């Protein structure tokens, strides 16, 4: 069994080899956005492997993802599976969340003035 850690939250979960990253995330209560039901077509479930390893990119991932992205460790969480080694993946920042946080920060600063 390996450990899969999700950044930026730092939530971690023990995983069996061959478990999908999306499935492991669900078990760890980490939300990875997805729209295509895991068919490698929406590309919303991209994660970045920061350390450790996952299974090599699938044929579907190689077809859908630019090679340069795969080379720097960007993977589709619906396709990538765990191995028996530990792994750390980073979820991209949520753009909507960033917009809301910036608006709240602006509002807070206006209220302080």
End-to-end CA distance of the chain: 54
Helix (H) or strand (E) holding 24: helix 21-27
Does 48 bind ligand FES (CB under 6 A)? Our answer is: no
Q: Which residues make Cβ contacts (< 8 Å) with residue 55, sequence separation at least 6?
A: 18, 80, 81, 82, 83
Does 34 bind ligand FES (CB under 6 A)? Our answer is: yes
For ligand FES, what does the binding mask look like between residues 3 and 32, x meaning CB under 6 A? ------------------------------
- What does the alpha-carbon distance between residue 7 and residue 1 come to, in Å, rounded to a whole number? 20
Give the up-direction half-sphere exposure of residue 5: CA atoms within 13 A in the CB hemisphere.
Answer: 11
Stretch that binds ligand FES, among 11-19, 42-50, 91-99, 100-108 (CB under 6 A): 42-50
Does 38 bind ligand FES (CB under 6 A)? Our answer is: yes
Does 60 bind ligand FES (CB under 6 A)? Our answer is: no
Please say which residue, 12 or 40, places its beta carbon nearer to ligand FES.
40
Applying CB under 6 A, which of residues 30, 76, 80, 89 lies at the interface with ligand FES? Answer: 76
- Residues of this chain that bind ligand FES (CB under 6 A): 34-36, 38, 40-45, 76, 78
């Amino acid at each position: 069994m390996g450990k899969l850690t999700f950044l930026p939250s730092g939530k971690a979960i023990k995983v069996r080899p061959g478990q999908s990253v999306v499935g492991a995330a669900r078990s760890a209560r980490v939300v990875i956005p997805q729209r295509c039901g895991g068919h490698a077509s929406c590309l919303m479930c991209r994660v970045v492997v920061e350390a450790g390893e996952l299974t090599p990119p699938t044929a579907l991932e190689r077809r859908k993802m630019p090679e340069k992205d795969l080379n720097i460790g960007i993977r589709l969480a619906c396709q990538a599976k765990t191995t028996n080694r530990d792994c750390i993946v980073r979820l991209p920042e949520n753009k909507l969340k960033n917009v809301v946080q910036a608006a709240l920060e602006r509002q807070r600063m206006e209220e302080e003035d």
